[in-house]
Amino acid sequence: MPEPKADVFARRSALVEALARLVPEGVVADQDALAAYDCDALTAYRQKPLAVVLPTTADEVSAVLALCHREKVRVVPRGAGTSLSGGALPLSDGILLGLSRMSRIKEIDLENRCAVVEPGVTNLAITKAVEGQGFYYAPDPSSQIACSIGGNVAENSGGIHCLKYGLTTNNLLGVELALMTGERIRIGGKAMEAGGLDLLGLVTGSEGLLGVVTEVTVRLLPKPEVALASLVGFPSIETAGQCVSAIISAGIIPAAMEIMDRFTIDAVESYCAPGYPRDAAAILILEVDGIAGDVSRLLTLVEGIARKVGATSFVTSTDERERQRIWLGRKAAFAASGRIAPDMLCMDGTIPRRELPRVLSRIGEMSKDCGLPVANVFHAGDGNLHPLIMFDVMKEGDLDKAEKLGADILKLCVEAGGVLTGEHGVGIEKRDLMPLMFAEGDLAQQERVKCAFDPDALLNPGKVFPSLSACVEGGAMHVHQGRIPFPNLPRL
C-alpha cells in the first residue's frame, strides 16, 4: 500500500473545513463516527479514513474530487459497503467518498425499457419501482436488498440469474462518470448500441480506479410469462456438478442454476427452514422461465437428465409462493453460514463448468488438510464458486490459515482454466494473485489505462494492481509474499 502523506495529516483540519463548505452537513470527521466506515463486508480488516464525505448531488461529487485533485488527497469511493474483496477499504490519509445519499430514481422510461438512477439506489429498488408495470432489473446479487447500483457497476456484479441474463455489464446502457479532476463525462445512453471504443465495458468492473459513477442508465426487461424453480437432491456435490454440465451440454440454458452442499443445507434449514432435503449431500436449485409450454417441456428434459446423473429427488414449484420458498434458503445462505462460526471469508473464483466435480472435490480435501470448514454455495451455471471459509479471528493462527486456504482455492481456480473473480472484484483480497493470471506486460497495459484516467493515482490506490508505478514517479506501490499485507496499511 502507498505510504501515508504526512502533510495531509497536518492539513486535516483545513481540509475537513473545505469539504464541509462543499458538502454542508455531509462530512464525518469525528473519530468515533468514522468507525462506521472503517471496513466493507470483508470485515476481518479495518482502517479509519481521514474523513468521510457524503454528497447528495453529482455537482457535490465533482467539487469534492476537484478539491482532492488540487490538494493531492487520495479518494476511496464507496457504495453501500457490501463489497467482499476489500475494494472500499479506506486509507488513513485519504477521503472516503460515500454515495449512499444519492438514491433517487431519476427517470423510468418504459418505452425505451430503461431507468436512469443515481448510484446510491439499491439493486432491488429498481425492480420494485417497475414491477407493477410488468418489468424488472435482471442482475440480482444475494445482497440486492442493500447493495447499490453504483457499486454493482464498479464490481460488475451478477447474481443467481446471471447465467441467462448476464452480469451488470450486459444490463447497462450508460453511465455518467466523474473523473478525478471533477470533470464529468457521459458514456453510452438510452440507445441499445454505441459506436466507437467500448468505454462502457471498460468502466464496468473498474472498481473505482478510473472515476466515480454519478448516474446509471440500466436496461429493464419484461417479466417472463412463467418462472418455475426446481429443487434437486444429489448423493454428492460432484454429481450435482456433473448434472450442471449435462444440462448445458444438452443445449438447455435455465435462468439460474445454483448448488449448495450439505454444510450449507443444514445451516439454512436451521436459519429459515426453506424445506431442503436433509438427506441430500448437495442440492441444485434451477429455474426455467419463458412461455408456459416451453417451460414445462424443458423441465421434463431437465428432470430426465438429473435422474440419469443420479438425482435422489426432484421437486418443482407449482406457484410463486413455492418458487420464492425454494429461493429463500439460497438468498439467505451467507447469513445462515455466518451463524456457524464467528468469522467467515467468502471467496470468489470462476472455473469451466466441466471442472466443477474435480475442483469441488479438491476444495473438500484442502478444507480437511487446513482444519477449517468450507461451505460451498455458488452460481453453478457459469462456474462462479463462492466457498465460505469458516474461522475465528480471535483464535491464534486462524486468520492466517483462512487467508492461505482462500489463496490456494483461487490458485486452484486459475490452474483449472478459470479466473480469480467472477463478480466480487479484485480489490485488496486478490491483488497479490493477479500475476497468476496476467503476465507483466498484461498488467502494465492495464496500468496504462488507469494512468490515462488518473495520472496521479489518487482514486482508490492500492487496489487491484500488485504494483502501480507507471504513472507515479518515485511512488510505486508494492505488496509482498502473495498475501494480503493489511498490517502495512497506513494508520492514524
In a domain, 407, yes or no: yes
The residue-averaged pLDDT of 133-149 equals 95
The residue-averaged pLDDT of 378-405 equals 93
Q: Give CA angle at 168 (163, 174), nearest 5°.
A: 145
Q: Can you give the CATH number for the domain in which 418 is found?
A: 3.30.70.2740
pLDDT higher than 60, residue 478: no
pLDDT in tens, 100-120: 999 999 999 999 999 999 999
The pLDDT assigned to 144 comes to 93
Confidence of residue 268 (pLDDT cuts 50, 70, 90): very high
pLDDT higher than 70, residue 1: no
Q: Can you give the CATH number for the domain in which 267 is found?
A: 3.30.70.3450
Q: In which residue are the cell numbers 498488467 written?
A: 443
Cβ atoms of residues 136 and 115 within 8 Å:
no
The pLDDT assigned to 175 comes to 98
The residue-averaged pLDDT of 70-79 equals 97
Domain final position from 389, 404, 429: 429
The pLDDT assigned to 487 comes to 39
- Residue 260 and residue 311 in one domain: yes
pLDDT higher than 50, residue 489: no
- DSSP assignment string, 451-481: HHH-TT--BSTTSS-SEE-TTSTT--EE--T
- Residue 138 and residue 157 in one domain: yes
Give the rounded percent of residues in the chain with a pLDDT score beyond 70. Answer: 93
| Mean pLDDT across the chain | 91
Cβ atoms of residues 331 and 343 within 8 Å:
no
Q: What are phi and psi of 468, to 5 degrees?
A: -140, 105
Query: By mean pLDDT, which of 284-288, 328-332, 334-338 is the weakest?
Result: 334-338
Give 3-state DSSP helix, strand, coil % of the chain, rounded to 5: 40, 20, 40
In a domain, 471, yes or no: no
- Residue 285 and residue 384 in one domain: no
pLDDT in tens, 197-212: 899 999 999 999 999 9
Burial of 487 (0-12, 13-18, 19+ CB in 10 A): exposed
Query: By mean pLDDT, which of 127-141, 273-287, 329-343, 430-444 is the weakest?
Result: 329-343
Residue numbers of the domain that contains 187:
105-222
- DSSP assignment string, 153-182: HHHT---TTHHHH--GGGGEEEEEEE-TTS
The pLDDT assigned to 480 comes to 34
- Residue 268 and residue 375 in one domain: no
Confidence of residue 468 (pLDDT cuts 50, 70, 90): low
Distance CA 64, CA 139 (A): 31
pTM of the model: 0.91
- Residue 358 and residue 389 in one domain: yes
Domain final position from 410, 429, 448: 429
Q: Can you give the CATH number for the domain in which 114 is found?
A: 3.30.465.10
Confidence of residue 4 (pLDDT cuts 50, 70, 90): low
pLDDT higher than 80, residue 194: no
Report the run of H or E that residue 484 belongs to, with start and end: none
Domain final position from 317, 335, 353: 335
- Residue 260 and residue 169 in one domain: no
Alpha-carbon separation of residue 120 from 68, 133, 384 (angstroms): 21, 23, 26
Higher-pLDDT residue of 75 and 490 is: 75
- Residue 256 and residue 312 in one domain: yes
The pLDDT assigned to 471 comes to 65
The pLDDT assigned to 45 comes to 78
The pLDDT assigned to 485 comes to 40
pLDDT higher than 50, residue 486: no
In a domain, 71, yes or no: no
Number of domains in the chain: 3
pLDDT higher than 50, residue 136: yes
- Residue 277 and residue 199 in one domain: no
Cβ atoms of residues 425 and 151 within 8 Å:
no
pLDDT higher than 60, residue 482: no
- Residue 360 and residue 296 in one domain: no
Higher-pLDDT residue of 45 and 225 is: 225
pLDDT higher than 60, residue 490: no
In a domain, 361, yes or no: yes
Higher-pLDDT residue of 134 and 334 is: 134
pLDDT higher than 70, residue 388: yes
In a domain, 439, yes or no: no
The residue-averaged pLDDT of 333-362 equals 90
- Residue 304 and residue 372 in one domain: no
